[in-house]
A and B are shown apart, each in its own frame.
Chain A
């Protein structure tokens, strides 16, 4: 019993108890880990459904601006803007990407890559939504601990909930679409509808993380569409182990603190991410999580037979 539940308890207890022991600086890092963990989960769900997103920043940024504008222009409370920004963010992103779903996978990657980068320049040029200065003075969440535990619970919920979803028959259809979409069409299933659903789920998760960060930093501006938000989730998922959601979170837990520690070496960080991406995707495509999983299952142990 412990054998089965231990791997699940570790992250749960870890995320719930760890913040208590961290100082303020590392609590901020904790928030980052959770946010990037969510972005990585979002990426992984799309990847499992056959869509490789190079633009998680799009979801992040749309959610961030959605929450920011709802709060800045309408004065709505963060606990209201968060769910709304997530859903609206998801709808907007899904709507924009809908036409690309019918095309070869590479189009999806291309479009998701360039749209956020274009949005940065557009915001800068048209000075909309605060332009280069962005919107400041956004309300924070009512309490510091609420901040931490809200995102921790959302992360855990997303991890276990969506893992369950991907393991279910519904998830099987999504994975089937990724693997052999002709076969799924042949079963009378409208694959574009399913792809759109996966897209909506992923982009809403991404939008939530953006909205959340807006309220943590009490600010939203052009940087939310930065390439960083697109790259790190992919690196986390690839390093941690694509296709498992747990790997994505594991990857975030490794890379985000690592990136904090390596802050000193500046831009070289991203060079390392790039190299990590290449090394892992080519050399160790199963990622760290699968590796650990295998080793864990290889331990000899006594089992009681009734």
Chain B
């Protein structure tokens, strides 16, 4: 693991034709950390992710990944450098079986490079990856069409697609949303495993209790600005944060 932060965001601004979605966002992420990003709806969390992953170009500011500037880079190139993300609204290819949904990430040039130029048997790799996120092989659930799967499995599929790219930094956008407590409890071990493998994670969440159990640090956004950063318990005691979530007293 290299010296120095894995992600540095400096002075980030994004204006969407009049709406200031992100103002002066600054933070640093060290390798191996799990950073939680929280904030009320509309606070700019997903925009921040889109900015980092290149789906949206910043109006101002700089983003460094492993010391290299990725500001304004095309999203597919950023993915190839080692950042992968999941989307809040999970949209798999519904008619295809779950494991076939994995083919596209496995077709990625990044995966090709990692396997030394040969793709190998993508179907087999897909099934292995799915098993790692909890698609029990015996139940053949990986062969069911994505349209027939419950939300819990769809979220795991989305996670598996991101893992397939063998990223160093993973950004998970509301992974826990729509899941029952049991389903969340089932996914958390997978996150722990990812951390154990040395991956750095950013998790955007509304499910604060579940997030605080696993996050090292938490960053709070409100109206596109960072209003607090630090330990989970510290941050929730801050008056600005309470005000943002609950309204003024």
Contact = CB atoms under 8 A, between A and B. Distances in A.
Contacts of B108: 187-189
Interface residues of A, number: 18
Contact of B93 (A180, A190, A191): A180
30 contacts: A169-B107, A169-B122, A172-B96, A172-B100, A172-B103, A173-B103, A173-B107, A175-B93, A176-B93, A176-B104, A179-B93, A180-B91, A183-B91, A185-B75, A186-B53, A186-B79, A186-B84, A186-B161, A187-B76, A187-B107, A187-B108, A187-B161, A187-B165, A188-B77, A188-B105, A188-B109, A189-B76, A189-B107, A190-B76, A191-B76
A207 B110 CA distance: 34
Report, nearest first, the 6 A-B pairs whose CB atoms are least far apart.
Answer: A188-B79, A188-B108, A187-B105, A188-B80, A187-B108, A188-B110
B200 to A, nearest CB: 18
A186 B75 contact: yes
Interface in A124-156: none
B223 interface: no
A190 B109 CA distance: 9
B155 interface: no
A187 B74 CA distance: 12
Given A187-B161, A188-B109, A182 B87 contact: yes
A186 B80 CA distance: 10
A29 interface: no
A184 interface: yes
A182 B110 CA distance: 17
A170 B119 CA distance: 12
In the complex, which range does the number of interface residues on chain B fall in? 20 to 34
Interface string B65-80: 0000000001111011
B212 interface: no
Contacts of A179: 93
Contacts, number: 63
Interface string A183-213: 1111111110000000000000000000000
Contacts of B92: 183
Contacts of A191: 76
Given A173-B104, A189-B76, 20 more contacts: A169-B107, A170-B107, A172-B96, A176-B93, A179-B93, A180-B93, A183-B87, A183-B104, A183-B161, A186-B53, A186-B75, A186-B84, A186-B85, A186-B87, A187-B76, A187-B105, A187-B107, A188-B84, A188-B105, A189-B109
A4 B103 CA distance: 27
Contacts of B84: 186, 188
A191 B107 CA distance: 12
Nearest to B95: A179
Interface centre among A175, A185, A188 (most CB of B within 10 A): A188
Contacts of B122: 169
Contacts of A186: 53, 75, 79, 84-85, 87, 161
B211 to A, nearest CB: 23
A301 B110 CA distance: 47
A191 B80 CA distance: 13
A254 to B, nearest CB: 27
Interface in A61-113: none
Contacts of A190: 74, 76
Which of B75, B110, B161 has the most A CB atoms < 10 Å from its CB? B75
A176 B93 CA distance: 8
